[in-house]
Structure 1
Amino acid sequence: MKILLFANTDWYLYNFRLPLAKYMREKGLEVILVSPPGSYGAKLEENGFRWISVPMERRSLNPWKEFKLLRHLIKLYAKEKPDLVHHFTIKNVVYGSLAARMAGIKPRVNAVTGLGHIFTSNGWLARLIRPIVSSLLRIAFQGDKSLLILQNPDDYQAFVNAGLVLPKDIRLIRGSGVDTERFQPSFQKRQGVFRVLLATRLLWEKGVGEYVEAAINLKSHNQAIEFLLAG
C-alpha cells in the first residue's frame, strides 16, 4: 500500500510528520513525501524516504503559478497512483484534493490545524479570496472516502456552519500530539514567581489575543503570575 503525504514545506514534514512516516513504514507501507523545494528535503532522504519537490509557493496568488501547481500535482498523482493521500494545511488540502479527484484517487485525508489567515483576517484581500477558497474546499471535501481532521471545536463549527463539509466526514482530535520519549519534563519545586510562557507566531489570531485576555483576567485577581511571550 502506498501513502503520499503532501505538506507546504519540507521543514514541516521533517519536524512534525517524520515520526508518522516512520511508523507507517514500519507497518510495511510505502511512504512518499511531497513538498516545495527546501533544505530539509535531503534530511528526509537521509531517513530513507522518497521526497518529491513540487513548484509550490505558499503565499502565491498568481493564477498562472497556481494552475501550473495543480497541473503538476495531477500528473504526479496519476503517475504514482497512491492508495491514499494525506494533505496538511488549507492550500495543500485544496490543491491536493482537486488533483487527487482528477487523478481518480478517492481515499483522501485532509488535516487542517487552523482556519488560516484567509478565514481569520478582515483585510480586503482575505475577504475577496474567502468565497473562492470556500467553494474550492467544498469540492475538496466531497466524496465518500474523504476525511477531514480538525483540532478544535470552533473550527468544527465553522466548517459545518459554512456548509463546507458534512459532520460525518470530520474527525475531531485534541492536537497533533507530542513525542513523550523526546520531550520529558522534569518536575521541580519552583521558587518565587510562577511563570507562564506562550511560544508562538506573533499573530493575534494564533492565540495571542486569548493569552493576553487570560493574563489580564488573572492579574485582576491579584494572582502572582508572570506572563511571557516568545515568537
Structure 2
Amino acid sequence: MKVFILGSYGPSLVNFRGDMIKAMVDNGHEVVACAPNDNGDIEDKVLKLGAKYLPIKMNRTGMNPLKDVALVWDIIRILRDEKPDVFLSYTIKPNIYGSLAAYFSGVENIYGLMTGAGSVIRGNTFKLRMIQKILIPLYKLAFKKCKVLFFLNDDDLELFKNKNIIDKQKSIIIGSSGINLNLFNKRPLRNSDTFLFIARLIRDKGIYEFLNAARIAKENRPKMQFKILGPFDSNPTAITPEELKKWTDEGTVEYLGKTDDVRPFIEDSFVVTLPSYHEGQGRVLVEAMAIGRAVIATDVSGCRQTVDDGQNGFLVPLKNSNMLAEKMITMYDNPEMTIKMAEKGYKRATDMFDVNKINNVILEHMELKELDKQYNIM
C-alpha cells in the first residue's frame, strides 16, 4: 500500500516519526513523507529511511484564512498526484486541513495522530475562546473523516470528548510516540550538579519557571549548574534572544543553542527538567529516562503519565518556580536518591516506551500489519 504522512515541521519526520516510517517501509509499503523543508537535509534523511520526501509551504502557527485555504488546495493537489491508499497526519494544521484534503481527494483510509492538545484548545482566555469557536468545528468536521484517531494520553482524549470534538470515532491511546532504545541507551553519569532544560523556548514549555527556579536555587546552592537547550521560536510567547542574554550574562543559566541530537547534552546532565504547561507525552523526559537520568516535570497532562512522582523523578505544581527550585535542590543535595530515581526511570522507559512496540500498535490499527493482539481501544 502507499502511505502518505503529513506533518507541520520537517525535522519531525525524522526525529519523531522516522522509526515509524522505517517500520512501514520494512512491512513492504511505499511511504511519502510531506512537511515544510525547515532544514536543507530533510530530504536526504527521509530517503535513507526508504521513503520519498515532498516539501510543502505551511505556517504552523499562523491563522490566515486565505493562506489556509491555499494550503488545503496544495495538499489536495499533492494527494491527487500521489494517489495514496492511506493518509496519516499529526499536529494541528495537518490533522485538520490534511484530513479534509485527503477526504476531498478520495483517500479512503484517513488516520490522525494527536501529539498534544496544545494551549489553543486548553486555554480559557478571551482570545483563545474566540479561536476555539473556529477551531473546534473544523476539528469535528475533519475528525469525522478519520477511521482511527491515535492519542498519546487519556487526558487529551477526554478533553476532546468533553468539547464534543470526537464522539463515536475509534480512538486508541498509544501512551507515547516511543523511543528508539538503540539510539537512546544508558550512559554513565558525568556529574551531579547540572540541571538541563530541553524544549522550544516558549512560555508554555515553562522556560520562565525554569529561569526563576534556577535563580532561586543558585542563590541557595551556588555550585548548581543550569543549562538550556533548544531553539528560539516564532510563537508569540517565545522568549527573545535579548531577554535570555540577561539571564546568561548574570550567570544564572548557560544557553547551549539548538541541536539535532540531544543525547550528548542529556549525557552531560544530572537531571532533565521540563516544567511545561501541557504535553502530549513529554518526549524529552522519556529520552532522558532511557539514557539513565532522573527527571522533574509539572503535574500536567502528558507529564504525569511519564513521571512516577517520587520514583523516577518529581512532579511539581504548574507555574510554581519555588517548588521547582525546592525539588532541584533536594535532588542536588541527595545524589544517591537521585541516582536511584534514574535507575527506576531507565527501567520505566525500556518497559513502557519502546518505539517498536508502539509502532506495532499504530501499524496494526492502520491495517498495515496483521492485528494479533488486543490493545486499549476507547
Q: Which TM-score band (shorter chain)?
A: 0.7 to 0.9
Paired with 1:117 and 1:30, the residues of 2 have a C-alpha distance of: 35
Q: Report what 2:104 is aligned to.
A: 102
Residue of 114, 126, 136 corresponding to 2:138:
136
Q: Report what 2:36 is aligned to.
A: 36
Paired with 2:9 and 2:24, the residues of 1 have a C-alpha distance of: 20
Paired with 2:61 and 2:93, the residues of 1 have a C-alpha distance of: 9
Distance 1:213 1:226, change over 3 A: farther
Paired with 2:53 and 2:181, the residues of 1 have a C-alpha distance of: 27
Q: Report what 1:213 is aligned to.
A: 317
Paired with 1:167 and 1:151, the residues of 2 have a C-alpha distance of: 18
The answer to whether the Cα contact below 8 Å between 1:196 and 1:225 also exists between their aligned partners in 2 is: no
SS in 2 for 1:82: coil
Deviation at 1:36, TM superposition (A): 1.5
Residue of 310, 314, 330 corresponding to 1:224:
330
Deviation at 1:163, TM superposition (A): 1.1
Does residue 14 in structure 1 map to residue 120 in structure 2?
no
Distance 1:127 1:66, change over 3 A: same
Paired with 1:172 and 1:31, the residues of 2 have a C-alpha distance of: 24
Q: Report what 1:185 is aligned to.
A: 186
Does residue 199 in structure 1 map to residue 198 in structure 2?
yes
Instruction: Provide structure 1 residue ranges, at least 5 long, that are not aligned to the other structure.
Output: none
Q: Report what 2:149 is aligned to.
A: 148
Residue of 69, 72, 77 corresponding to 1:75:
77
Q: Report what 1:166 is aligned to.
A: 167
For these two proteins, the number of residue pairs brought into alignment is 223
Paired with 2:13 and 2:204, the residues of 1 have a C-alpha distance of: 23
String of CA shifts for 1:60-83, please: whole Å, max 9, x gaps: 222211111101111211221211
Identity %: 27
String of CA shifts for 1:116-169, please: whole Å, max 9, x gaps: 2312334443222112111011111114x5211111111111011111112551
The answer to whether the Cα contact below 8 Å between 2:111 and 2:147 also exists between their aligned partners in 1 is: yes
Residue of 110, 113, 116 corresponding to 1:114:
116
String of CA shifts for 1:162-210, please: whole Å, max 9, x gaps: 111125511111111110011111366x9967x7655334555444352
Distance 1:40 1:110, change over 3 A: farther
* Higher RCO (C-alpha under 8 Å, 6+ residues apart): 2
Deviation at 1:45, TM superposition (A): 4.9
The answer to whether the Cα contact below 8 Å between 1:44 and 1:51 also exists between their aligned partners in 2 is: no
Cα RMSD for the two superposed structures: 2.8
Deviation at 1:93, TM superposition (A): 0.1
SS in 1 for 2:108: coil
Q: Report what 2:254 is aligned to.
A: none
More deviation in 125-134 or 26-35? Answer: 125-134
The answer to whether the Cα contact below 8 Å between 2:47 and 2:53 also exists between their aligned partners in 1 is: no
- Tell me which amino acid in the other structure corresponds to 1:213: P
- Tell me which amino acid in the other structure corresponds to 1:63: P
Paired with 2:121 and 2:147, the residues of 1 have a C-alpha distance of: 22
- TM-score normalised per structure 2: 0.53
